[in-house]
Amino acid sequence: MKMKTQGKYGVTATAAAQVLCEDVRNFSTRRRNILYLMHRYLVENGYYSSAEALKTEGRLTEEYELCDNIDLDGMYLEYASFFNMKFGKYPKILKKMAPKIKVEMAAGKNQEKSVAPPKEILPPKKQTAEASLANWHLGVGAATAALNEQPLQIKKMETTAAADSMSGQENRACEIEHGHLGGDDALFSSLDWQSLAELVKTSILQENIKLRWSDVCGNQRAIELIKEAVLTPIEFPQLFAHGLKPWRSLLLHGPPGSGKTLLAKALYSETQGQVTFFNITASIMVSKWRGESEKILRVLFHMAAKRAPSVIFFDEIESLTSKRDRATDHESSKRFKNELLQLLDGMEHTLNGVFVLASTNLPWDIDEAFLRRFEKKLLVQLPNEAERSCLISRLLGSSISLNPRLLEQLVAISDQFTGDEIRLACKEISMHRVRCATKVGDHRSTGASSKESQAVMEANVEKAFRQVRPLGQKLLAKHEQWQQENGS
């Protein structure tokens, strides 16, 4: 009976699976695959001479290349996870060797020469056989006598310079991994850690932002806390010389558009040149490779500590710190959160000079363990009447003339508006004037038309403000209740 080869998922798939199974079980195929894996690992880690030697001795050709989704490090991690899941512990790959010893023969100072007894004359054939046997006994006897007479001296093998350098590199790599080595520009000797360090460096803000604390309308309580945490230790270090430590973490929450990110921008602008500012997003932290997100976190906090004073700003932190008891959470997400919890908790002792600033629109989605790590949790309030008046005058004062009556009316309309919603309404007014200026038509200059244009302008201004549907009004009550229960 002939086997059919057609079929989309039938015999063809079965035959392919059998071929793959045979490849796995075949010793020569398995050996070839391992050699290619080792070759790629050596190349990726900079061992180019060793990789070339392996390619020559292993007779690796250009006929084959490794698939993109396989590497030696990934196989190691998968095996460790499988071993842990099966036996409840991780495999022990290496073990320390016992100290090597060498045996030295202490040469006797007064060695007596042995006098050979007179030999008996034998026939030629018998003489030859007896001579070879006598020589063998003589050699064994001499060695036995030397061992019996001379004391043994057992010494540890001296460590060579190469072994010293290798041990130093291993200790250095260990210190890098645990974040205890200084000088982050020169400490990452491994290519993996260098690439992670370069990724983290891209989050350091270098932009020239012109923003001052006076440009922020309202939120004076948040500004005072940020100044106490960042600026006061720089300007008055003697105040914190006797055990007192500044605030090391602050969580800002409030409706979208209330000014949380604006406060972070103002902090960066006011401390530019004095403080290293890390702007962290989920795209930098989350990696598809197993265990790499935790490494990025460790590199981030290590670099922040070495470049202190520094600020780590997590925008929309609820995407990284959601509750851990959800059934949909992946194992990698749980490991990442546990690593972040450990780093935040250890800041007081190991990461001096690092301030963590975070913002969120959904504080009730953050895990309670992360909330405990934040020393201060503050609600960013909506602007009050005086602050709205100041903000509208600042945004519209250069484009239109605001009389007191119109300004008072706009302030009343913008009740429960966030600062960003007021900005959008004022931008709509400015864009309307741009549309009018770009229209091609008749331009009348009579007094009546001038009064009419003033009335139309005021109507358009009111219309622009009434078009805005405030989103913060829906969430403000929920944020206020959460602040009463969890805020500090």
Give me the mean pLDDT over the 181-187 stretch.
47
Instruction: Tell me how far CA of residue 164 lies from CA of 53, 168, 442, in angstroms.
Output: 24, 6, 89
Tokens of 31: 């050996």
For 126-163, how does the pLDDT look when each residue is reduced to its tens digit (9 = 90+)?
A: 455 555 555 545 454 554 444 455 554 544 444 444 44
Mean pLDDT computed over every residue of the chain: 75
User: Does 215 lie in the same domain as 328?
Assistant: yes
Q: Are 296 and 287 in contact (CB under 8 A)?
A: yes
pLDDT at 124 over 80: no
Residues 6+ apart with CB under 8 A from 68: none
Residue 176: pLDDT band (50, 70, 90) is very low
pLDDT of residue 40: 85
Q: Scan for tokens 């605001």, then name that residue.
A: 402
Nearest 10 degrees: Cα torsion 397, 400, 401, 402: -70
User: Does 296 lie in the same domain as 426?
Assistant: no
175 found inside a domain:
no
Region class of 353: left (phi > 0), else alpha (psi between -120 and 50), else beta? left
| Domain endpoint, select from 346, 361, 379 | 379
Give me the mean pLDDT over the 202-226 stretch.
87
Tokens of 3: 């086997």
pLDDT of residue 112: 46
pLDDT of residue 347: 55
Number of domains in the chain: 3
Q: Residue 282's closest CA among 314, 329, 260, 325?
A: 314
321 found inside a domain:
yes
Strand ranges inside 185-255, DSSP E: 249-253
pLDDT of residue 278: 93
Residue 446: pLDDT band (50, 70, 90) is very low
User: Does 461 lie in the same domain as 318?
Assistant: no
| Domain endpoint, select from 57, 87, 117 | 87
pLDDT of residue 266: 92
Instruction: Tell me how far CA of residue 107 lies from CA of 55, 140, 146, 156, in angstroms.
Output: 48, 18, 9, 19
pLDDT at 414 over 70: yes
Quickly list DSSP for 22-87: HHHH-HHHHHHHHHHHHHHHHHHTT-HHHHHHHHHHTT--TT----TT--HHHHHHHHHHHHHHHH
The CA distance from 177 to 157, in Å, is 30
Give me the mean pLDDT over the 192-196 stretch.
78
More confident residue, 348 or 191: 191
pLDDT of residue 175: 43
Q: Please state the separation of Cα 253 from the chain's center in Å.
A: 24
pLDDT of residue 268: 92
pLDDT of residue 105: 52
pTM to 2 decimal places? 0.59
209 found inside a domain:
yes
User: Does 333 lie in the same domain as 223?
Assistant: yes
User: Does 416 lie in the same domain as 362?
Assistant: no
pLDDT of residue 312: 93
Residue 392: pLDDT band (50, 70, 90) is confident
Residues 6+ apart with CB under 8 A from 337: 320, 321, 324, 367, 370
| Domain endpoint, select from 87, 109, 141 | 87
Give me the mean pLDDT over the 422-451 stretch.
68
pLDDT of residue 440: 53
For 263-278, how does the pLDDT look when each residue is reduced to its tens digit (9 = 90+)?
A: 999 999 999 889 999 9
User: Does 347 lie in the same domain as 246?
Assistant: yes
Phi, psi values for residue 208, rounded to 5°: -100, 90
User: Does 370 lie in the same domain as 395?
Assistant: no
372 found inside a domain:
yes
CATH number at residue 472: 1.10.8
pLDDT of residue 469: 82
143 found inside a domain:
no
What's the domain range around 464?
385-439+447-479
Give me the mean pLDDT over the 89-114 stretch.
62
More confident residue, 345 or 228: 228
pLDDT at 311 over 90: yes
Q: Are 217 and 383 in contact (CB under 8 A)?
A: yes
Residue 462: pLDDT band (50, 70, 90) is confident
CATH number at residue 343: 3.40.50.300
User: Does 234 lie in the same domain as 318?
Assistant: yes
Q: Residue 214's closest CA among 258, 252, 266, 257?
A: 266
SS3 180: coil
pLDDT at 179 over 80: no
160 found inside a domain:
no
105 found inside a domain:
no
Which of 22-26, 279-283, 320-324, 347-351 is the least confident region? Answer: 347-351
pLDDT at 43 over 80: yes
User: Does 222 lie in the same domain as 194?
Assistant: yes
Most confident of 34-43, 73-82, 343-352: 34-43
- Percent of the chain scoring above 90 in pLDDT: 8
User: Does 360 lie in the same domain as 342?
Assistant: yes
pLDDT of residue 377: 92
The CA distance from 338 to 369, in Å, is 10
Q: Scan for tokens 């931008």, then name that residue.
A: 427
User: Does 311 lie in the same domain as 194?
Assistant: yes
123 found inside a domain:
no
Tokens of 196: 């992670």
SS3 312: strand
User: Does 367 lie in the same domain as 314?
Assistant: yes
Region class of 338: left (phi > 0), else alpha (psi between -120 and 50), else beta? alpha
The CA distance from 227 to 266, in Å, is 11
The CA distance from 404 to 407, in Å, is 5
